[in-house]
Structure 1
């Protein structure tokens, strides 16, 4: 029988339960996937940390996966087109991805990019679609210079790659230990901390900083962006909603209807980029599926050095 992680109470991952469950057979428009890797994201724990409207316990955990099709509903296509049993696929914006097997709406599944391993593929779309939306809402265009806070993190690394292929220059904050990561993906690294705005100006070498993309949520990230970017409407955060409300900058989140529509629409483009080798996903570490709380604990420390994935036992 399949197993999955669920939150039976609001709180930390330490209180989650790893239990057996019956996987529904797929009906029309549905597909069943044997999971080979589950992506690990901050939202996995954040969304069950406290009670929230519209969510009922128990809550299945996990939003993105990579695996292979074990069953298809009748006359069913997946998000990337036709498919058959045994095909490798990825899926994003699912409910209950921390599992050994799952049945989901087929439109959420796309053919897995062959250059990516399952742990890499399982981490492609949540960070990738977030990065794509950040670039879209700040209206970044070729030839511009933008500032990315948290450039060596999962979202930041995807921003670096997507910006580089469009000819957008990125100055990205990171610790000095992570400067090589920023450079490897085409960015110009800058250390965060006191004096950040002046250091960014020096690296920009007279160029206007056209947009600010905040993936860390610190006051420094918002304050420096407001100091350097002329139009607050071209500053976006995914981690400082209070500052967005008080300072007139953009806040985006996958739970917002407009964000959800954009991120769904851009999935195919990102899959194609990964298939062509233009978008990669650095993975720092994998954990056994049953060790999910340990993976979330490492992620909560803030510097895992890349994406994390959960691997079900055969």
Structure 2
């Protein structure tokens, strides 16, 4: 039909709730790049906790349960997302895109067409990129990559030269940038011993690799069936997911940093094994956001706690350099077709795989 808007296949989230809120559309309107933007043909898009938690509304303070991926009985209208504010629906989620630039908007060099890129998912004010209050997230505040095509500001599409597959490259953007942001906030160096709960997940595995890259000693924690896969990431030691006596399990190890995305009831045990002057850094709470803290432990042991969500503008660009240099490796667990995104999220929530799950258009 002449003059009709081009369409594409897309998995569209229609509102907060259970997996059935994700609906497949064969002919969703294909976006066109606005000024300063690029159009990407999506080769692969990774799945992460932000996709699940935003769809379910888990970020709302009305929710105190662990991440379940299902609908919650009550979700506040005013704070259901990572940024504590509503988003508009329908919304195409998915932040971790690897693909090819196939179009550019006004003001973007046409020579970028044909570039293979991965996405920097933090949408910053170009006039004030350091202001966290002016920051959004790809696949949340604007449509993302669970579709055949997507648009993003040109500065957020980072060219990459790599022999890795699109699926492998789609594992990096969220998990590895989140991990690098946590390690940066905690100022991890070669003098540290870093304890990583949940090391079998996407962010946990990235924490292991990136902490080792910094020269730190790394102790990973994961369920025993997943130890062989975790071992491939190169930790110095692997412990069970939740030892009854963590201090004894650690032996003579002196933990200076806990890099945590788990939280939950085991959290006080993690804090108790930190050395005096140690640091705790957090970017998740999949086992539950409500924890018990003895403030005496916090201040008498001179501990430092840092939250980590919005990363510095150079983090993803540095990750590209590490990838191209072969300094970090993808932890691709499984791929699913985009139409099967519900199944992919169900597997992700059930922790059926070790590493990252990616969907392919």
Matching residue of 1:129 = 177
TM-score (ref. length: structure 2): 0.76
Question: Deviation of residue 211 (structure 1)?
Answer: 1.0
1:91 and 2:136 are equivalent in the alignment: no
Give the unaligned 5+ runs of structure 1. none
For the residue of structure 2 that corresponds to 1:123, the secondary structure is: coil
User: Which structure has greater helix proportion?
Assistant: 1
Within-5 A mapping of 1:195-210: 195-202=244-251, 205=252, 207-210=253-256
1:229 correspondence with 2:246: no
- Secondary structure of the corresponding residue to residue 103 of structure 1: strand
Q: Distance in 2 between matches of 1:40 and 1:167?
A: 29
* Secondary structure of 1:163 counterpart: helix
What corresponds to 2:351 in structure 1?
A: 302
SS of match in other structure, 1:234: strand
RMSD: 2.2
Does residue 72 (structure 1) correspond to residue 72 (structure 2)? The answer is no
Structure 1 pair 83–66 and aligned structure 2 pair: CA distance change class (3 A): farther
CA shift digits 1:195-222 (9 cap, x unpaired): 34134422xx3x42101111222321x2
TM-score (norm 1): 0.87
| Aligned-residue offset at 1:237 | 2.3
Question: How many correspondences in the alignment?
Answer: 298
| Aligned pair partner of 2:229 in 181, 186, 194 | 181
- Mapped to 1, the partners of 2:283 and 2:293 lie a distance apart of 12
Structure 2 CA distance for partners of 1:102 and 1:22, relative to 1, 3 Å: same
Distance 1:233 1:167, change over 3 A: closer
- In 1: Cα distance, 2:292 partner to 2:281 partner: 8
Q: Among 6, 29, 44, which residue is 2:12 paired with?
A: 6
Q: Which residue of 2 aligns with 1:149?
A: 197
Question: Within the alignment, does 1:213 sit opposite 2:259 as a pair?
Answer: yes
> SS of the residue aligned with 1:160?
helix
Distance 2:244 2:118 in 1: 42
Q: Distance between the aligned counterparts of 1:281 and 1:287, measured in 2?
A: 17
Question: How far off is 1:59 after superposition?
Answer: 2.1
Q: Report whether the alignment pairs 1:56 with 2:84.
A: no
After superposition, the Cα gap between the structure-2 partners of 1:40 and 1:143, relative to the gap in structure 1 and judged at 3 Å, is same
Q: 1:213 aligns to what SS in structure 2? A: strand
Deviation at 1:126, TM superposition (A): 0.4
Q: Deviations over 1:242-261 (max 9, x none)?
A: 3388866746353xxxx24x
Structure 2 unmatched ranges of 5 or more: 1-6, 58-76, 122-137, 299-303
Displacement of 1:11 after TM fit?
0.5
Alpha-carbon offset, residue 113 of structure 1:
4.1
Question: Please, which moves more after superposition, 191-200 or 274-283?
Answer: 191-200
Name the counterpart of 2:325: 276
- C-alpha distance 61-244 of structure 1, shift in aligned 2 (>3 A): farther
Distance in 1, Cα, partners of 2:354 & 2:119: 24
Q: Residue 41 in 1 paired to residue 48 in 2?
A: yes
| Aligned ranges 1:244-263 → 2 under 5 Å | 250=305, 252=307, 254=309, 259-260=310-311, 262=312
Give deviations 1:162-192, integer Å, cap 9, x for gaps: 1112210011101222222333222110112
Aligned-partner Cα distance in 1 for 2:243–2:205: 23
**Correspondence 1:172 to 2:220:** yes
